[in-house]
């Protein structure tokens, strides 16, 4: 992947927004990769949890907002409990999702689910996926 980094992007309000919403200091991450090593979802991800943090540090907004990985994360908290720098990676990913969701860009379109699919899953599944994937 070819990336262009610039001071302008690092100073993009997007970076500040992610830090604010997640309550995390992105620059604390030194890219050890431990979060990605333990993440159960990596096989389905296009970019890994440590790369999500890196892209956020550098203000590479489009790459993050268009990634599939942010929707594959299940907020399982494994990365959070293992990060040697105490960064809550799941919170950072939630912040990126929220930046999209708050523009009313729902990821899960409930009415596209068939009546059968809706009836099959228990309330706990439907409610949690709506909480995570809709605004």
Size of the site for ligand SF4 (CB under 6 A): 26
The least distance separating another protein from the CB of residue 41, rounded to whole angstroms, comes to 7
- Contacting residues for 107 by C-beta, under 8 A, at least 6 apart: 71, 97, 100, 101, 133, 134
Nearest 5°: the CA angle 69, 70, 76 is 95
Of residues 87-116, which lie at the interface with ligand SF4 (CB under 6 A)? Answer: 87, 89-90, 93
Size of the site for another protein (CB under 8 A): 38
The answer to whether the CB of 79 falls within 8 A of the CB of 35 is yes
Q: Which of 21, 27, 37, 42 binds another protein (CB under 8 A)?
A: 21
Q: How far apart are CA 105 and CA 74, in angstroms?
A: 19
**Distances from the Cα of 101 to the Cα of 78, 94, 106, angstroms:** 24, 10, 6
Chain centroid to CA 78: how far?
14
- Residue 1: strand, helix, or coil: coil
The least distance separating another protein from the CB of residue 8, rounded to whole angstroms, comes to 26
What x/- string results for residues 98 through 127 when contact with another protein is judged by CB under 8 A? x---------x----x---x--xxxxxxxx
* Binding-site ranges for another protein (CB under 8 A): 20-23, 40-41, 43-44, 72, 74-78, 80-81, 88, 90-91, 94-95, 98, 108, 113, 117, 120-129, 131-133
* Binding-site ranges for ligand SF4 (CB under 6 A): 29-35, 39, 41, 49-50, 53, 73-79, 83-85, 87, 89-90, 93
């Amino acid at each position: 992947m070819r990336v262009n980094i610039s001071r302008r992007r690092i100073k993009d309000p997007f970076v500040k927004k992610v830090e604010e919403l997640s309550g995390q200091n992105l620059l604390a991450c030194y890219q050890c990769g431990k979060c990605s090593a333990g993440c159960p979802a990596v096989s389905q991800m296009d970019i890994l949890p440590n790369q999500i943090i890196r892209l956020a540090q550098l203000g590479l907004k489009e790459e993050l907002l268009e990634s599939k990985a942010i929707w594959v994360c299940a907020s399982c908290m494994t990365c959070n409990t293992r990060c040697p720098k105490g960064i809550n990676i799941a919170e950072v990913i939630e912040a990126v999702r929220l930046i999209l969701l708050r523009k009313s860009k729902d990821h899960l379109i409930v009415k596209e689910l068939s009546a059968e699919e809706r009836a099959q899953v228990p309330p706990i599944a439907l409610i949690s996926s709506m909480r995570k994937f809709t605004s």
